[in-house]
């Protein structure tokens, strides 16, 4: 009996989770191997695929490599693969250098013919050896494939999306899975909709339980989902889900049945506001890498401060003493000269800030019963430093009479949106 071939994919159970809808549970600590020498599906005979693969990043690269491996495994299933990328963007001094998308290097290393387009206007899908492309696959492409292009192919198009659609439609599903505190996410294989992004027919889904959801970062979750997405794409092709008679699957919905969006990340999305709890702020850092806050220093100047190394800690007793309940609102007092800022429209809201026991970090009051521990801070125009040094400038200590020494007045103010805050509510 012939020895089995090497597995096409091999990842840990923690990374792979459940392979696809209708999964079989694998005990924790085991490995899931997909054996490439067996046909798992019985499908009708079809023409060999001539694929136009559209992509950009490492997610695209993983899927493209998986397609090439599948072509080598079964040349009769995939006749050719062409790659379509968006042109590189200029960068650096004088914008004289061009930064290509990662997929370009991947395609070149695989010896694939590559096309560069930033628009489909006036562009016709190329022929390969006189034969027409019959399937378009888009993975992290970022450019809408119009109906004219889809209709020029026999099997239209497929798309991989790193969420359980229809939840988290948009270009940033991994970020928002963490930002929203999800315990489960996954990957979806869908058709390319001729009307809008992420509105295709759902063909396959691979749900996973997010490991350590209260600590995992966007990068770690991304690395778990990428091999799953490549595997799901190959499984879909073997199952021939691109055929028009394929019946869509019932989507896996969140327990709440409430669907969220995952729009493009903008700088304002990374902005910390006084209405947020410490838990929400820490999730922001895990989702976006760094967060920032608008501040007003003691000299009256407004600066942006980048905050890193954030943790949720219990509200220190001495900080809680500065909150006094009055008519269902919280009046905020600072631990220095007592100053109250009502946070009028377009103004700022003041919150207590104190030095942490390690002498290098600071603790800032947040909404709710928890506080935010900040290890590092970078004020615009300055170098990254320990938060206590960056925001106080020198050590903060109590004098013998209980008053505060050092850094008095260097309190942080949180820039408020124009119509949100009068006071901080608990």
Q: Say whether pLDDT at 277 is over 60.
A: yes
Among 423, 403, 418, 401, CA closest to 331: 423
Which percentage of the chain shows pLDDT scores above 90? Answer: 57
Order of strands across the sheet that contains 114-116 = 114-116, 78-85, 49-55, 135-139, 157-161, 184-191, 202-209
pLDDT at 41: 44
Cα–Cα distance measured from residue 110 to residue 22, given in angstroms and rounded to the nearest whole number: 33
Cα–Cα distance measured from residue 286 to residue 308, given in angstroms and rounded to the nearest whole number: 10
Cα–Cα distance measured from residue 157 to residue 407, given in angstroms and rounded to the nearest whole number: 61
Interstrand relation of 291-296 and 302-314 (parallel, antiparallel or unpaired): antiparallel
Cα–Cα distance measured from residue 218 to residue 289, given in angstroms and rounded to the nearest whole number: 8
What residues are paired with 373 via a beta bridge? 311, 363
Kindly state the average pLDDT of the residues 251-264.
Answer: 95
pLDDT in tens, 168-208: 999 999 999 999 999 999 999 999 999 999 999 999 999 99
Q: Say whether pLDDT at 252 is over 80.
A: yes
- Helix H or strand E encompassing 115: strand 114-116
Give DSSP secondary structure letters for 291-307.
EEEEEE-TTS-EEEEEE
Tell me the HSE value of 101 on the side-chain side, using a 13 A CA sphere: 25
- Helix H or strand E encompassing 376: strand 370-379
Exposed (0-12), middle (13-18) or buried (19+): which is 337, by Cβ within 10 Å?
A: exposed
Q: Say whether pLDDT at 76 is over 60.
A: yes
pLDDT at 347: 53
pLDDT at 37: 33
Phi/psi for 70 (5° steps) reads: -65, -35
pLDDT at 211: 97
Of 2-11, 182-191, 295-304, minimum mean pLDDT range: 2-11
Of 144-158, 260-274, 340-354, minimum mean pLDDT range: 340-354
Structural domains in the chain, CATH included, are 9-238 (3.40.50.170), 267-415 (3.10.25.10)
Mean pLDDT of the chain: 79
Contacts of 49 (CB under 8 A, 6+ apart): 77, 78, 79, 134, 135, 155, 237
Among 130, 126, 129, CA closest to 52: 126
Phi/psi for 180 (5° steps) reads: -85, 0
Which percentage of the chain shows pLDDT scores above 70? Answer: 73
pTM of the complete model: 0.79
Q: How many residues does the chain have?
A: 426
Cα–Cα distance measured from residue 412 to residue 388, given in angstroms and rounded to the nearest whole number: 12
Specify whether the CB–CB gap between 157 and 136 falls below 8 A: yes
Q: Which residue has the tokens 């339980």?
A: 209
User: In the chain, what's the furthest Cα-to-Cα distance?
Assistant: 89
Tokens of 375: 């290890």
Cα–Cα distance measured from residue 177 to residue 259, given in angstroms and rounded to the nearest whole number: 11
Count Cβ atoms below 10 Å from residue 324 Cβ, excluding itself. 10
Kindly state the average pLDDT of the residues 321-346.
Answer: 38
């Amino acid at each position: 009996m012939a020895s089995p071939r090497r597995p096409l994919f091999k990842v840990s159970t923690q990374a792979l989770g459940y392979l696809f809808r209708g999964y079989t549970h694998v005990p924790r600590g085991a490995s899931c191997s997909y054996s490439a020498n067996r046909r798992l599906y019985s499908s009708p005979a079809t023409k060999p695929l001539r694929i136009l693969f559209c992509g950009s990043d490492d997610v695209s690269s993983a899927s493209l490599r998986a397609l090439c491996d599948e072509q080598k495994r079964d040349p009769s299933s995939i006749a050719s693969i062409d790659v379509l990328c968006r042109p590189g963007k200029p960068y650096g001094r004088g914008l004289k250098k061009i930064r290509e998308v990662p997929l370009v290097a991947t395609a070149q290393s695989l010896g694939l013919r590559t096309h560069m387009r930033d628009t489909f206007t006036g562009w016709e899908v190329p022929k390969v050896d006189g034969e027409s492309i019959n399937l378009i696959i888009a993975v992290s492409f970022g450019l809408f494939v119009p109906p004219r292009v889809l209709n020029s192919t026999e099997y239209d198009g497929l798309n991989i999306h790193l969420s359980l659609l229809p939840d988290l439609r948009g270009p940033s599903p991994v970020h928002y899975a963490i930002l929203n505190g999800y315990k489960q996410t996954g990957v979806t294989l869908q058709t390319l909709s001729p009307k809008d992004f992420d509105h295709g027919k759902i063909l396959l889904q691979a749900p996973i339980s997010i490991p350590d959801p209260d600590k995992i970062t966007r990068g770690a979750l991304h690395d778990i989902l990428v091999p799953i997405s490549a595997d799901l794409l190959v499984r879909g092709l073997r199952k021939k889900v691109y055929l028009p008679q394929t019946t869509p699957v019932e989507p896996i919905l969140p327990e709440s049945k409430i669907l969220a969006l995952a729009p493009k990340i903008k700088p304002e999305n990374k902005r910390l506001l006084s209405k947020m709890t410490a838990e929400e702020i820490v999730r922001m850092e895990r989702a976006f890498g760094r967060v920032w806050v608008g501040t007003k220093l003691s000299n009256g100047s407004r600066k942006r401060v980048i905050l890193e190394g954030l943790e949720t800690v219990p509200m220190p007793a001495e900080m809680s003493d500065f909150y006094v309940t009055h008519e269902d609102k919280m009046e905020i007092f600072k631990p220095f000269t007592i100053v109250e800022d009502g946070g009028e429209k377009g103004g700022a809201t003041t919150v207590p800030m104190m030095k942490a026991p390690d002498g290098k970090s600071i603790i800032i009051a947040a909404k709710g019963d928890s506080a935010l521990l900040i290890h590092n801070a970078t004020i615009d125009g300055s170098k990254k430093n320990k938060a206590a040094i960056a925001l106080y400038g020198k050590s903060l200590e109590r004098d013998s009479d209980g008053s505060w020494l050092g850094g008095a007045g260097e309190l942080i103010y949180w820039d408020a949106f124009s119509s949100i805050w009068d006071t901080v509510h608990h």
